[in-house]
Structure 1
Amino acid sequence: MARLTLDALVVGRGSTAVAGPFDIAVAAGEALVVTGPNGAGKSTLLRTLAGLLPPISGTIRLEGPAASDGEAAERLADVAHYLGHRHGMKSQITVGENLAFWARYLGGAAAAQSERSRQDARRGPHVGVPTVSAPLSPAEALAAVGLPGLDAIPFGYLSAGQQRRASLARLLVAHRPVWILDEPTSALDIASQARFADLVAGHLAAGGIAIAATHHPLGLEAARTLHITPGAGRDDGRGSNAPGAPALDDAALAEAEGWL
């Protein structure tokens, strides 16, 4: 089964430490909600997990999932979806074309893991193989986020809430066992937030892992919480409460985080 472990992980921008150290493990079927004030380092932590920033120190260890070549994944980024503040969608092309691109770009991993799932089903259940969800078509993914029939509309024509939902549909067109989500419910109405919580619950039930930074409740009652304060990482009693990197003043934190 998939398991993600952070060992004395310190994250930052450039050579400046922003938050940590973090010592925590997240297993298949678990969600970790990252909270904290603006500038504490939530986005920096998620971008580091996604492979977009190098750690200042410490390690990120992943066990279980296979990469697109069928071998054990060496990096978390090889088997993770990352959804940041920006949507990762082109405004000029249709929503369906955007999602088709992501399906092709990430499809190698989806195809390899789907084939592994089919082989496991023929052999029968055994220890160490996570449940795998089949990827959806762009039209099916849009329907799942409450946007049926909008695949032919240019992404730039959508409202802010619709754009966020369409970007969430990226999670469904290619299966990846780890979801790394930065403020995923931004601009969503109450009904869309509930629909998103259902999608995450389904992902966890299939053996996935979700890590989300947020200022708002996500409707995930069983989720663990990692609260970040500037210069330290602590969770809800099942991870580290060790003092971290030296605290930075607000101006330095804002510069370190940028628009992220």
Structure 2
Amino acid sequence: MVLRVKNLSVARGGVAVLEGVSFTLAPSDALVVKGPNGIGKTTLLRTVAGLQPAFKGTVEAPEDSLAYAAHSDGLKSMLSVAENLEFWAHVFGQKDITQAVDAFDLSDLRNRLAGSLSAGQKRRLGLARLLVTARPIWILDEPTVSLDTASVALFAQAVQRHLSSGGSALLATHIDLGLQANILDVGPFKAVAGATAISGYDEAFL
């Protein structure tokens, strides 16, 4: 499944931050979004994921093909690790959580309440949800936050397996994950100072 972004402009707080971004993400490809803090990488990824409207341009992706993971781990603190994964598997019409548990070394934590986990363990569990979505296009915003070196390696291996099986990944990260990936430097797409979004544009509640 192919993700196509055409002449996309995105806004934050009603003000355009990036303009004219275009790229194609094909199966088995990874694209790493680079740029200084605050330039709009998160806004771009949220817009591509459909969590806020585009200022201009288009995002084309097959229906139900995108899975998004950002800074929030999205866990239910009073459910166990296994119950959290089973919940999300059910949401996405899946049943088996074994691959997700194994990929992020969660076997010994299966019965622990999510609320009792360390920040790094919560992050591993949050990322493990990607594997129960069965969605081919992953959109990842700083996915390695709170992960130690060993856990970063687990994540990189999970992404590589996803790519090898025909999936794709669009990610913003400052860490070299050792992937064969193209780079999208969004610096040249920074919006002209003073550019504003269309009248009535508001992403605050999406």
Equivalence for 1:189: 148
Map 1:126-205; keep pairs closer than 5 Å: 137-205=96-164
Aligned partner letter, 1:30: D
The alignment partner of 2:109 has SS state of coil
Map 1:9-20; keep pairs closer than 5 Å: 9-20=8-19
Equivalence for 1:57: 56
Taking structure 1 as reference, are residues 184 and 257 closer, same or farther at Cα in structure 2, changes over 3 Å only? Answer: farther
TM-score normalised to structure 1 length: 0.71
Q: Supply the distance in 2 between the matched residues of 1:104 and 1:56 (Cα, whole angstroms).
A: 34
Q: Supply the distance in 2 between the matched residues of 1:257 and 1:162 (Cα, whole angstroms).
A: 31
1:245 pairs with one of 187, 191, 196: 191
Equivalence for 1:123: none
Residue pair 2:52, 2:203 contacting (<8 A) in 1 also: no
Deviation of 1:4 (Å)? 1.3
- Stretches of structure 1 that go unaligned for 5 or more consecutive residues are 66-72, 111-135, 234-243, 249-255
Q: Supply the distance in 2 between the matched residues of 1:20 and 1:44 (Cα, whole angstroms).
A: 12
1:128-181 Cα deviation digits (max 9, x unpaired): xxxxxxxx7334412210121312111111111111111111011221000011
Q: Supply the distance in 1 between the matched residues of 2:203 and 2:176 (Cα, whole angstroms).
A: 23
2:86 pairs with one of 97, 100, 123: 100
Runs of 4+ aligned residues of structure 1 deviating over 2 Å after TM superposition are 136-140
Aligned partner letter, 1:21: G
1:167-226 Cα deviation digits (max 9, x unpaired): 111011221000011111111111211121111111111111101111221221x10111
How many matched pairs? Answer: 198
Residue pair 1:8, 1:20 contacting (<8 A) in 2 also: yes
Equivalence for 2:30: 31
Equivalence for 1:228: 186
The alignment partner of 2:87 has SS state of helix
| Percent identical residues | 48
Deviation of 1:99 (Å)? 1.0
- Stretches of structure 2 that go unaligned for 5 or more consecutive residues are 195-201
Q: Which has the larger radius of gyration?
A: 1
Map 1:73-92; keep pairs closer than 5 Å: 73=63, 78-92=64-78
Residue pair 1:145, 1:195 contacting (<8 A) in 2 also: yes
Equivalence for 2:197: none
Q: Supply the distance in 2 between the matched residues of 1:257 and 1:213 (Cα, whole angstroms).
A: 21
Q: CA RMSD in A?
A: 2.2
The alignment partner of 1:184 has SS state of coil
Aligned partner letter, 1:187: S
TM-score normalised to structure 2 length: 0.88
